[in-house]
Structures are given as C-alpha cells and as structure tokens.
Chain A
Amino acid sequence: MTPVATPFFFYLLSGLALLGGVLVITRKNAVHSALALILTLLALAGLYLMLYAPFVAGVQIILYAGGIMVLFLFVIMLVSIEKSQREEQFNKQWIGGVVGAVGLGALFVRVFVRSKALHDLAGMPLAQLPEQSNTQEIAVYLYGNYMLAFEIASLLLLVAIIGAVVMAKKRI
C-alpha cells in the first residue's frame, strides 16, 4: 500500500496548524480564537494520522475539538465578550514577552541546526508500528506498563471534576 504521508500533506497540515496558532494569539474576538484553535487541533489530528497514530488522532478530535473546545466556547459565552473586545488586547509587558519568545525560538533554531544527535535522528530507521492493531497495542501499554500512571490520571480527573464544580458554584 502506498503511504498517504506525502510531503504535500505534511506541508498543508503543518501550514494550517501554524496559521491557526497565529490566528489564536492575534484575534480580538475570543470566539474567533477558539475557532482558529479548532483548526489547529484538526490539522494536528491529520499529522497524527500521518505518523501512524490513529487512536491519538481520534482522541484529539473527540476530546479536544469536541469536548474541551465546547467548554471554552461556553465559558466565552458566559463571560462578556463585547466589553473585553473594546479593551486593549495586549498587556503592558508585550514587548518583553515577544522578545523572550523570539529568543526561545532562536534557541530552538540553534539547537536544531547545530545538534548532531538531531541530524543523526533524521537518518535513523523508523520503527515498525502496527497499522491494524494500534488501539489494542495502546490498551496493552495502558493496562500493563503504565497501570499506575493510568490510575493516577483517573484520580486527577476526579479531582478536576470536584474542583471545577466547587469553583463554578455560586456560594462556596
């Protein structure tokens, strides 16, 4: 079977992801930011499919684009967007923030250009990932090697549910 992971799809999807990221941090209206973030999440799900991770791609779409973003949109509706749209969108330290982030990006570029390990990585053979049984294999890891982490994650979700309910209550 010829792989669908062609360079064209990679550049298309990563371009969409980065475009969505730029829109998230520049839009005035928080609803537009949320929609741009959904674009980024869907493009990333496509990239996961190209990397032979169909289960993670499905979880990304159902849980992120379907669950978390609906939560975000509801909260945007609850807090007033008309008022916050008329206000200044960037804080007073925005120059320092941009300079710091660009410095971080320059550090990334330098590491990517100079690191010998990363260039060896580009030539390394890829692992033989299961194409048909990805979900079963992940389940074996989740209930085998990562049993303790799985249980801790369920506890974390319980704490988060209680925390969100307590925070959103009218009278604590």
Chain B
Amino acid sequence: MVPITTLHYLIVAAGLFVLGVVGVLTRRNVVIVLMSIELILNAVNLNLVAFSRMWGLHGQVFAIFVITDAAAEAAVGLGILIAFFRNKETVNVDEVDLLKW
C-alpha cells in the first residue's frame, strides 16, 4: 500500500472544502448554510494540522485559533438567525431580502 503523505491529507481537505462550498451555494436553510461554513473551516484546519506534521507546531496553534473563530462565528450567526426567525418566521436565505430594492 502507498504510504500516507501530506498530499493525501490535502486531498481530503480539498474534498471537504468543495462539499462545504456546494452546501453554502445551494442550500436554502440558514442552519445548514452555517454548518457548511463549519465544514469549510474544518477543511482548513485539517490542512493546517497536516502541514504542522512537517514544519513544527505552528500549524496546530493556528488550528486552535481557527476553532476559536468558528465558535464565535457560530454563536453570532445563530443569534442573528434567532432574531431573524422571530421577525419573519422563516429560515430560508432567499427570503432574507429586506435590503433588496
């Protein structure tokens, strides 16, 4: 069997990233769009940790910062979603058109 190199991890991360982009661009439910953003952030994290296998621990430290960012983003995003649902009774992104003219 071929030994697992950094390139293998990069390919898995690229696959997760593309799945996340498809989710963000095609789904209507805001909750699932936010989950797809989490998929994208996790793909980046896998890249960072895979590179840290070659160049030392800096990548792992950056992965922790990315996780912090993801937590902050999820909290604020879901708060906005609750406020929006309270006002418009919908969770679909294409019905969020208050600023459209």
Contact = CB atoms under 8 A, between A and B. Distances in A.
Instruction: Label chain B's interface by main secondary structure.
Output: helix
Contacts of B58: 141, 145
B28 A167 contact: no
Contacts of A47: 9, 12, 46, 49
Interface residues of B, number: 74
Interface residues of A, number: 87
Contact of A121 (B21, B49, B54): B54
A63 B12 CA distance: 22
Interface string B27-45: 1110110111011001001
Nearest to A150: B65
Contacts of A76: 31
Nearest to B70: A68
Nearest to B3: A7
A80 B30 CA distance: 12
A164 B75 contact: yes
A34 B8 CA distance: 26
Given A56-B63, A78-B82, A84-B91, A118 B16 contact: no
B27 A53 contact: no
Contact of A72 (B2, B31, B52): B31
Interface in A25-53: 25, 30, 33-34, 37, 40-41, 44, 47-48, 51-53
Contacts of B69: 153, 156
Contacts of A52: 53
A89 B28 CA distance: 6
Given A24-B23, A68-B74, A127 B53 contact: yes
Interface of A: 5, 7, 10, 14, 17-18, 21-22, 24-25, 30, 33-34, 37, 40-41, 44, 47-48, 51-53, 55-56, 59-60, 63-64, 67-68, 71-72, 75-76, 78-80, 84, 87-94, 96-98, 100-102, 104-105, 108-109, 112, 118-119, 121-124, 126-127, 129, 134, 137-138, 141-142, 145-146, 149, 153, 156-157, 159-161, 163-168, 170
The 5 closest A-B pairs by CB, nearest first: A97-B25, A167-B79, A160-B72, A25-B23, A21-B19
13 contacts: A53-B49, A59-B67, A79-B91, A91-B28, A91-B94, A93-B25, A100-B21, A104-B17, A104-B21, A127-B56, A129-B56, A134-B60, A146-B61
